[in-house]
Amino acid sequence: MCQPFSAGVLQIDTRAPSRQHIPMCNLYRMTKAHEEVARWFNAIDQLGKSNFGDEVFPGYPGAVVADGKLQQMTWGFPLTLKSKRTGKPLKPKPVNNARSDKLDEYMWRYSFEERRCLIPLTAWAEAEGKPGNKTRTWLSRPDAGLFAAAGLWRNSDEWGLVYTMVMTDSAGAAAECHSRMPVLLVQDDWSKWTDGTPSEARRLCKPWTGELAVERTDQRW
């Protein structure tokens, strides 16, 4: 049975995070037309006249394949925060990545067991460079102009339908940019991820061993 999710209120320190912290994937591209994406994934196109940018950021809408439908959701599960200084609630924070080794935690558990999805993308970005002067490095699959990352989704009180991207250890060219990367799925594994058992899905959470194209840019992060 689907279990309801209740976002807890956490005590956090609202001081600026360490400049040494490098977040996991907080930006990706999806540059294909939604009609092409729906055909590619053999999904019912429910995007209609939805209008969002080619670059997707946490807290903003993106296209997701869930329950056989291509639909719009907000990137990031909402997490309610509470300031240690004032004790007052802050606005929800989008948690846009779920580590594959943390999928049994309460925030992800029920979505991993019952609500897995595919995230269409054409590339994702990581931050590289010295603190305060980081630039975007884009990674993609040279063998596929459109591919899928593993995702989880749910319905939230705060933002309606939301999704998060599942991350695993990096390998190959991706490991030069960050210690973690999205779980990339070959087409034969799409249905295993969305419809298989949790054990079958968990076995797909592994580093990508195929070729990756790396595009380093001067664009500031």
Nearest to 16, CA basis, from 168, 154, 131, 138? 131
> Given this model, what pLDDT does residue 152 score?
98
- Domain containing 129: what range? 23-80+87-220
| pLDDT given for residue 101 in this prediction | 97
What CATH number corresponds to the domain at position 124?
Answer: 3.90.1680.10
Residues 47 and 70: beta-carbon distance below 8 Å: yes
* Number of structural domains in the chain: 1
Averaged pLDDT, 167-191: 95
H helix runs in the chain, sequence order: 34-40, 106-114, 190-195, 198-203
* Residue 2 is assigned to a structural domain of this protein: no
Structural domain contains residue 9? no
Question: What is the CA 180 to chain-centroid distance, rounded?
Answer: 12
- Evaluate whether residue 134 is within a structural domain: yes
Judged against a pLDDT cut of 70, whether residue 77 lies above it is answered with: yes
Residue 23: pLDDT band with limits 50, 70, 90: low
203 lies in some domain: yes
Contact 188/196 with Cβ under 8 angstroms?
no
pLDDT tens, 61-73?
Answer: 999 999 999 999 9
Looking at the chain, the whole-number percentage of residues with pLDDT higher than 90 is 77
pTM (2 decimals)?
Answer: 0.87
Q: Does residue 151 sit within a domain?
A: yes
The answer as to whether 95 is a domain residue is: yes
Q: Within a 13 Å sphere around the CA of 115, how many CA atoms are in the beta-carbon half? A: 22
Residue 13 lies in a domain: no
pLDDT of residue 3: 37
Residue 130 inside a domain? The answer is yes
Q: Tell me, what's the pLDDT at 24?
A: 62
Return d(Cα 122, Cα 58) in angstroms, integer: 17
